[in-house]
Structure 1
Amino acid sequence: MTTLLISDLHLHPGSPRVTEGFLHWLEARARVGDALYILGDLFEAWIGDDLLDLAEQDSTGNAALAAGIAAALRRLAEGGTAIYLMHGNRDFLVGSRFAAEAGASLLPDPTVLELGGKRVLLMHGDSLCTRDEAYMAFRQQARDPQWQAQVLAMPIQERIALAGQLRKQSGEANSNKAEDIMDVTPGEVVNVMAEHGVTTLIHGHTHRPAVHEIEVDSRPARRYVLGDWQPAKGWEIAIEDSSEPQLQAFPLP
């Protein structure tokens, strides 16, 4: 069994090299995997699954990108790789229609699975950044089904404008925050891992790839952080059979 995990690709029309690199990775590397887990922020923004209906009318390129990625994922799924999608802080409106067209299953955040012979906690990671109180307040709103329903009921052009506004506000807010505020809260990590009874956590979101040796309930534990994809480099975690997770970067063609 080979399990692959990635996150934080932030695909958008303005970064074609990342998109091209991801499509190449799907056709080459990902096909060796029995399962692929995408732990959030596959897209830089997602305004609703009805974006897929606009592939020929959308001048921004977002609809064509979404349709192309869905088709590429479906080809991978049809080749025998199980695909799982978790929401991130950018693409929390990804729904069942996109998942179906991509041949994927939506995965709750958090999720505990047995990988490599041990219980592993999978998360996007944004819920661990509890010191960022402003973001946590927005996260609570954005994950509320009623709020999401109200947004999805808006005309699509208004949703496109809202997504742009939220991205701008997020960038401005982050530029004024201390670095440690935007990282995970160590105590929250330990609490969440103890709550789920695991000694292995894999997440993304922070764009700070690393393997952290920690202690949970007096037991040695590890926190694996996936990196974000850049035009020249991607990140993955591979788990082979009962081996330890391997965090690795690789060049994009």
Structure 2
Amino acid sequence: MTSPTLLISDLHLSPADPATLRAFFTFLYQRAQHASALYILGDLFEYWLGDDQLDDPFYAKIANALAALRQHGVSVYFMPGNRDFLPGPRFAQAAGLSIIPDPSIIQIDGLRVLLAHGDAFCTDDIGYQRYRKLARNRLVQWIWLNLPRRIRNREAEKLRNKSKAMNQRKAMQIMDVNAGAIQTALRKYNTPVLIHGHTHKPDIHEYPEGIRYVLPDWHQGQGGYAAILQGKIQLYRQLEEGLSQPSNIQTDDC
């Protein structure tokens, strides 16, 4: 029996949202273990300050849960998002996954698919794109990762608060993807399908160049995913019944 390829994004896992962590673990155990591969297209975590975050039992437990998938023969791929773009080799090894660039092209059952986190397509938000370019500068990242963790925690909190305040003043349309940027990407990479997250607006959009699938975000135990099987893509905007209210997954020791 053929196993599907699953794709998720925007879980924003943090100790402040234990319901989503429980739903994620249940999804791994009941759904992802039966997949051929799992692609995480960014923002798995609310923030990732560096691989020393694995010293925290909460994050170590998530890495262990992902590593367990590999023992079941499931390949796991992680694409950095705008909240967790600093994963390193320690995280990859601990979670048993491969880190892939944004964007990436995959071939599944003869279907050529472009994967992205999605924030690079929000080109109308000029301020954010300026920040994105700076944050992904290798020198800036090296300096950041060599700061003491307490300073990184403090500065990250300042950045999150600043981002929330700025987003409240921005027009909603500039925080969504730009249609021209999407069409340019489909032409550039010669793919009929694009799958991304980031916008928290799950939907399916058609263009002359191809189809765009937007993955659901996860919050308070609710979430969704996409599945590719035999060349067909299904978007699940919500977790199936029985997955969203797990009862046998313990997370209070995180």
Task: Compute the TM-score of the two structures, normalised by the length of structure 1.
Answer: 0.93
Task: Give 1:5's match in structure 2, choosing from 1, 4, 7.
Answer: 7
Task: For residue 158 of structure 1, give the secondary structure of its aligned residue in structure 2.
Answer: helix
| Contact 2:22/2:221 (8 A) holds in 1 | no
Q: Which residue of 2 aligns with 1:246?
A: 234
Partner amino acid for 1:48? G
Q: Cα distance, 1:245 vs. partner? A: 0.8
Q: Aligned partners of 2:155, 2:36: CA distance in 1, in Å?
A: 38
Aligned runs of 1:131-170 on 2, under 5 Å?
Answer: 131-170=124-163
Q: Which residue of 2 aligns with 1:58?
A: none
Q: Cα distance, 1:79 vs. partner? A: 1.0
Q: Aligned partners of 2:126, 2:167: CA distance in 1, in Å?
A: 12
Percent identical across equivalent pairs? 45
Higher strand share: 1
Task: Give 1:35's match in structure 2, choosing from 22, 31, 37.
Answer: 37
Q: Cα distance, 1:246 vs. partner? A: 0.4
Q: Aligned partners of 2:37, 2:100: CA distance in 1, in Å?
A: 13
Partner amino acid for 2:185? V
Q: Cα distance, 1:86 vs. partner? A: 0.3
Q: Aligned pair 1:14/2:39, yes or no?
A: no
Q: Aligned pair 1:228/2:221, yes or no?
A: no
Q: Aligned pair 1:110/2:103, yes or no?
A: yes
> Any unmatched runs of 5+ in structure 2?
246-254
Task: For residue 13 of structure 2, give the secondary structure of its aligned residue in structure 1.
Answer: coil
Aligned runs of 1:42-191 on 2, under 5 Å?
Answer: 42-53=44-55, 63-191=56-184
Q: Cα distance, 1:12 vs. partner? A: 0.5
Q: Aligned partners of 2:112, 2:76: CA distance in 1, in Å?
A: 19
Q: Aligned partners of 2:112, 2:206: CA distance in 1, in Å?
A: 17
Q: Aligned partners of 1:45, 1:31: CA distance in 2, in Å?
A: 26
Q: Cα distance, 1:241 vs. partner? A: 2.1
Q: Which residue of 1 aligns with 2:190?
A: 197
Partner amino acid for 2:60? A
| Contact 2:118/2:177 (8 A) holds in 1 | yes
Task: For residue 222 of structure 1, give the secondary structure of its aligned residue in structure 2.
Answer: strand
Q: Aligned partners of 1:215, 1:97: CA distance in 2, in Å?
A: 42
Moved more, 112-121 or 201-210: 112-121
Task: For residue 239 of structure 2, give the secondary structure of its aligned residue in structure 1.
Answer: strand
Partner amino acid for 2:84? D
> Any unmatched runs of 5+ in structure 1?
54-62
Q: Aligned partners of 1:228, 1:199: CA distance in 2, in Å?
A: 23
Q: Aligned partners of 2:53, 2:228: CA distance in 1, in Å?
A: 34
Q: Cα distance, 1:139 vs. partner? A: 0.3
RMSD after superposition:
0.9
Task: Give 1:213's match in structure 2, choosing from 191, 206, 210.
Answer: 206
Question: Could you say if the C-alpha distance between residues 20 and 232 of structure 1 is closer, same or farther in structure 2, counting changes exceeding 3 Å?
Answer: closer
Q: Which residue of 1 aligns with 2:248?
A: none
Q: Cα distance, 1:193 vs. partner? A: 1.0
Q: Cα distance, 1:232 vs. partner? A: 3.5
Moved more, 154-163 or 110-119: 110-119
Q: Cα distance, 1:116 vs. partner? A: 3.6
Q: Aligned partners of 1:182, 1:52: CA distance in 2, in Å?
A: 31
Task: For residue 234 of structure 1, give the secondary structure of its aligned residue in structure 2.
Answer: coil
Q: Aligned partners of 1:30, 1:65: CA distance in 2, in Å?
A: 20
Larger relative contact order (CA 8 Å, sep ≥ 6): 2
